[in-house]
Structure 1
Amino acid sequence: MKESLLFNAVVNNLEDAHELIDTAISTSLKESKPVYVSISCNLAGIPHPTFSRELVPFSLSPRLSNQMGLEAALEAAAEFLDKAVKPVLVGGPKLRVANATDAFVELADACGYPLAVMPSAKGLVPEHHQHFIGTYWGAVSTPFCAEIVESADAYLFAGPIFNDFTTVGYSLLLKKEKAIIVQPNRVVIGNGPAFGCILMKDFLRALGKRLKCNTTAYENYHRIFVPEGPPLKSAPKEPLRVNVLFQHIQNLLSSATAVIAETGDSWFNCQKLKLPQGCGYEFQMQYGSIGWSVGATLGYALAVPEKYGQRAIIFLINNGGYTSEAAIHGGPYNVIKNWNYTGLVDALHNGEGKCWTTKASCLTWCIRSSASIDSIPMLTNTDNTILLYIHCFQVGCEEELIEAIGTATGDKNDNLCFIEVVVHKDDTSKELLEFGSRVSAANTGPPNPQ
């Protein structure tokens, strides 16, 4: 389900340009969402008095909760949760928009409930929190997480988005009457009542001071939890497996790194990564856009140049086709021409670029990605320009992967590194197989009548 356009300013004349542009900017700042401004090409270079005079200071009035509504919502929510035997907390992606992540953690600290996140909220809550139990994603949740959430007699969802992807084909075993849904400006308790004009961060922070501490559900989780073991050890020169790749990616993570997870099977494999304190994480599933991560990696790097270094690593998992799509709906269209991805360097270079190539690795100034490949960029940053030097490697076994990662992370390497990982076409996570069958069942059938 795609959200409607927040604001679109179409500037066709100078008379209302100032008002339209200011409205767009203020709307974006207030809602923490993108807006669009389009300006007719014949206007861009025309001077106008409203833009040439001394600048008028721009300010936004602070948004405040309705205090009477806030008090009523707190009273109802505290009564609802305090009478529950094993309540839980689940964080959603709108925690970021509402600027409420700190308030949510404060609530978790105070109430003692187990703390889970929806898949697109991974990284918004510290995974080292003493009551963190993982990702709640229905049938493809972190092990033992769904069992605790869905068996609870009350759950508070802060900033959730429920669509066919986040609900695994609308198969979540949740009941509305057990839920408190907290959105950026609204609180709904069970089947009612609903309270509007309440800021999420105000509600969560105040609720933590009202609730009784209840660790029952977390104690239940602790009783049933069994740690995961490492993947089977690879034989010498054995074809590389995805679970082995991710063991090495896990070892790369630190407080100075961030993960950008691509659409597809990387959704599930990246959810299993244990994020160190301070490690960033970006994950987009509202649109399910294949290829999103490549542009997002550049955007993320340019947004925080002072935090990270001058290098990024992109792992492109080449399984020879649309394996993630095939898990949902099989067909010959999921088998595509398998390009020589690292060979694109020679075509771009053509004897004139600032790069060199060998059979094992190559260097060039730009990168292109195919939508047919599940890729996982692991970001530590790129340069502040679009012209990037890139080391390229193609690996097919663990020994080659270790060598490529060693080069990518070497002290003398300040370049973007592109590692193509060749794996078997059927090498997928068990979560993708479960997800694919459930989403396929939910989306198969005649169209809904209009």
Structure 2
Amino acid sequence: MDTRIGSLDAAKPACNDVVSCNHTTSAAIQPCVPATVINGAGGDSTLGGHLARRLVEIGVTDVFSVPGDFNLTLLDHLIAEPALNLVGCCNELNAGYAADGYARARGVGACVVTFTVGGLSVLNAIAGAYSENLPLICIVGGPNSNDYGTSRILHHTIGLPDFSQELRCFQTITCFQAVVNNLEDAHELIDTAISTALKESKPVYISISCNLPGIPHPTFSRDPVPFSLSPRLSNKMGLEAAVEAAAEFLNKAVKPVLVGGPKLRVATASDAFVELADACGYALAVMPSAKGQVPEHHPHFIGTYWGAVSTAFCAEIVESADAYLFAGPIFNDYSSVGYSLLLKKEKAIIVQPDRVVIANGPAFGCVLMKDFLKALAKRLKHNNTAYENYHRIFVPEGHPLKATPREPLRVNVLFQHIQKMLSGETAVIAETGDSWFNCQKLKLPKGCGYEFQMQYGSIGWSVGATLGYAQAVPEKRVIACIGDGSFQVCF
């Protein structure tokens, strides 16, 4: 974590140069597109105008907010940006959840809340975004810059003359924190925070003193130079060695399988994973936390691998394989069904976003998942033995009995109707709890979106996330499956 707090008398030079960092950008982010102009070139030479243009530049067109007296001036400048739409939310927690859902669809999201009373309220949503590796810009309207160092007690706080309480809370759940309380280094702090969120694919915290957004300053007198985010690169020697070792390991196997994990998203490696599956012919499964990251219409897809509660016949194929490649797995107590998976380390290749570990043997760092999977696809022999074994033992699921008139609605009948609603023009948002398990049984058509929060599991997340996802992808019909208890949490 990196914390940078601007001092009142600092006189740092503003950074108007191209911001460079190692980051593989999401498809939704256009890092070299000129920023939107307000009132002509340099028309709004203020901190608020600069922040608005930066958000538009990285692909944010909707900002979720709860107005409060510490952020009102900043919100005025965001509203003035014609390419930004300000979406008011009923509370800060929902604003954070909405920004989370938006980031899942667009690659980055943003929310704006007020100091402490709003910042502490949004913490849970930001923590969830951190656990899911989502770039989220959390902006807080902070105290007047003249209040710093005065030992004054402010409203909306817990009554202590210490303005760092909110900051300290955010330090553990964001990858960068910027406290902007003077204009001299505001440009640098804002740009560094945003670029760090994109590079690390994690939330960041930006606090902006409430009296600063509307004050003109020379560092904002021109349209901001567009971000140039250099892509991360694999170590070539490490990549070649990892591919050679993995190919030798898998080509000797009789019935190898592939299993996709949730970190396929942060590695932007879903397409590379499918390319590998197409080339090798292995049976293809997905971890429960990665549903939606792997196309279920793939001809060799065998279902969800979740130990004892896997899709029918999927666990038998995965656990009987003599070699398995897991791409981006997270083995927590949920996904491992209480750490009960019948897997053996000596049979596994574990591919993380920037690291490959082969069985009990060598590990290779500085190897990006996308590069590794693409290169491995060219080195594997075609082997569909595991899929043929699955096809041999597979028995199609039966259909629920038809309900009689006035019979209580059964869950399996309800989800049969939901299944018929799904298409490439829909997306499913699954809430924590029963919806997790019932939605896992849905078969996603090509192009159908799917999102849930399995790592953090915050009840009520899906209500705000549905709003954010729908704003981000208005062309899709979003189907949210939410338990009534979780639904009530957000109101």
TM class, shorter-chain normalised?
A: 0.5 to 0.7
Correspondence 1:119 to 2:237: no
2:208 paired residue number = 39
Structure 2: distance between partners of 1:251 and 1:96: 27
* Residue from 88, 91, 102 that aligns with 2:260: 91
Residue type at the aligned position of 2:360? N
Aligned positions of 1:32-181 closer than 5 A: 32-181=201-350
Structure 1: distance between partners of 2:448 and 2:241: 38
Residue type at the aligned position of 1:163? N
1:231 paired residue number = 400
Structure 1: distance between partners of 2:252 and 2:479: 49
Contact 2:323 2:348 survives alignment (8 Å): yes
Structure 2: distance between partners of 1:45 and 1:132: 55
Divergent runs of 4+, >4 A: 1-4, 311-318
Structure 2: distance between partners of 1:174 and 1:48: 60
Change (3 A) 1:223 1:54: closer
The one-character-per-residue Cα deviations of 1:68-107 (angstroms, maximum 9, x if unpaired) are 1100110111111111111110001111111111110010
Structure 1: distance between partners of 2:231 and 2:354: 14
Structure 2: distance between partners of 1:197 and 1:134: 31
Change (3 A) 1:19 1:110: same
Residue type at the aligned position of 1:264? G
How far 1:157 moved relative to its partner? 0.7
**Structure 2 residues not aligned, in runs of 5+:** 1-127, 132-172
Identity %: 83
Residue type at the aligned position of 2:488? S
2:43 paired residue number = none
Structure 2: distance between partners of 1:247 and 1:5: 40
Structure 1: distance between partners of 2:481 and 2:195: 38
Q: Secondary structure at the match of 2:265?
A: helix
How far 1:110 moved relative to its partner? 0.7
Contact 1:95 1:159 survives alignment (8 Å): yes
Correspondence 1:262 to 2:443: no
Change (3 A) 1:177 1:312: closer
How far 1:7 moved relative to its partner? 2.3
Aligned positions of 1:328-407 closer than 5 A: 369-371=487-489
**Structure 1 residues not aligned, in runs of 5+:** 323-368, 374-450
Higher deviation after alignment, 61-70 or 1-10: 1-10
How far 1:15 moved relative to its partner? 2.9
Instruction: Report 1 or 2 for greater relative contact order, CA contacts < 8 Å, sequence distance ≥ 6.
Output: 2
Contact 1:180 1:190 survives alignment (8 Å): yes
* Residue from 325, 349, 358 that aligns with 1:189: 358
Scaled by the length of structure 2, the TM-score of the pair is 0.62
Contact 1:152 1:217 survives alignment (8 Å): yes
How far 1:32 moved relative to its partner? 3.1
Say what the alpha-carbon RMSD is for the aligned residues: 2.1
Structure 1: distance between partners of 2:267 and 2:284: 18
The one-character-per-residue Cα deviations of 1:380-413 (angstroms, maximum 9, x if unpaired) are xxxxxxxxxxxxxxxxxxxxxxxxxxxxxxxxxx
Residue type at the aligned position of 1:22? D
The one-character-per-residue Cα deviations of 1:266-307 (angstroms, maximum 9, x if unpaired) are 1111111111111111121110111111111111110112x2
- Aligned pair count reads 322
Q: Secondary structure at the match of 1:370?
A: helix
Structure 1: distance between partners of 2:482 and 2:244: 51
